[in-house]
A = this chain, B = another copy of it.
Amino acid sequence: MTTQIGILVIGNEILDGIVLDTNSQWLINQLKALNFQVSEKMTVRDEIQVISKALRRMLLAGANLIFTTGGLGPTHDDKTLAGVAMAFELPVELNDKALTIVTRQYTEMHQRGVIETGEITEPRRKMAILPKGARPLDNRVGGAPGVVLDVEGAQIICLPGVPGELMWIFDNQLLALLKGMIEGVFAEEVIYLPLRDESTLAPIIDEVMQDVPGVYIKSMVKPYGESGIRLWVSSSGQSQTEVEERVHRVANLLVRRCEEQLPQG
């Protein structure tokens, strides 16, 4: 079955113009590197019924892999999981694994002195209440676990709206799952470069992408707050050897050109 992907962006802050949604573009580019195309995106308000209907509408339009972003936090306006539960007529229940994640995160934040108490208050406990049958995705950046639910022949993946948390969960908890869904073969190499300025890298990336077609290069500055730049070089096709060779060639080319042309810092 072909994967048909929808992204459901949830949050009044987007539809009220307060926040510019950049999460979905980031997601789209990561998915593109895995050879997936996104069919449509919807953006809706923080209302349980509205979220539920949006999910039903996306399924009806043929989506079988839906990413939601936002609405997993502790406050009253975080309603994504209640919306997912309503869409599939599932009860919600406290998920032990999710509670372990939430507890660990707040304990650690308390130990680091970021928050006053590590106690699992009602708002924090709320983040571990998932639709029945869903499983949590670890989150080591913030407090809200991601969520995966397999239901009605579709997969629903709920990610937090805070960009760093969404990115961490995607890179560390979802890549393996998504790689298993790729049609054809796929290869990727990650390169770290001790550079400060992404803009000096842009023409080198453009050059290399022109020299070796069929390769996707994604760059990110300080992806998780670290200094430097991280590059993801990926490609897909029919032959594993060919794809791996192509990715490796481009990775080497990038490192060499950067060493030749850029000051290290």
Contact = CB atoms under 8 A, between A and B. Distances in A.
Interface residues of A, number: 66
Contacts of A218: 12-13, 16, 18, 77
Contact of A197 (B17, B57, B116): B116
Interface string A240-265: 00000000000000000000000101
Contacts of A75: 198-199, 201-202, 205, 219
Interface string A204-245: 011001000000101111010000000010000000000000
> Which among A12, A42, A124 has the highest number of chain B CB atoms within 10 Å?
A42
A25 interface: yes
Contacts of A54: 40
B45 A202 contact: no
Given A14-B41, A40-B44, 20 more contacts: A9-B41, A13-B232, A14-B25, A16-B28, A16-B37, A16-B218, A17-B25, A17-B26, A19-B220, A19-B223, A20-B22, A39-B45, A40-B42, A43-B43, A74-B198, A74-B199, A75-B198, A75-B219, A116-B200, A123-B203
Interface of A: 9, 12-22, 25-26, 28-29, 32, 37-45, 50, 53-54, 57, 61, 73-77, 109, 114-116, 121-124, 143, 162, 196-203, 205-206, 209, 216, 218-221, 223, 232, 263, 265
Nearest to A30: B17
Contact of A15 (B17, B39, B57): B39
A4 to B, nearest CB: 12
Contacts of A143: 199
Given A116-B197, A197-B115, A202-B74, A41 B39 contact: no
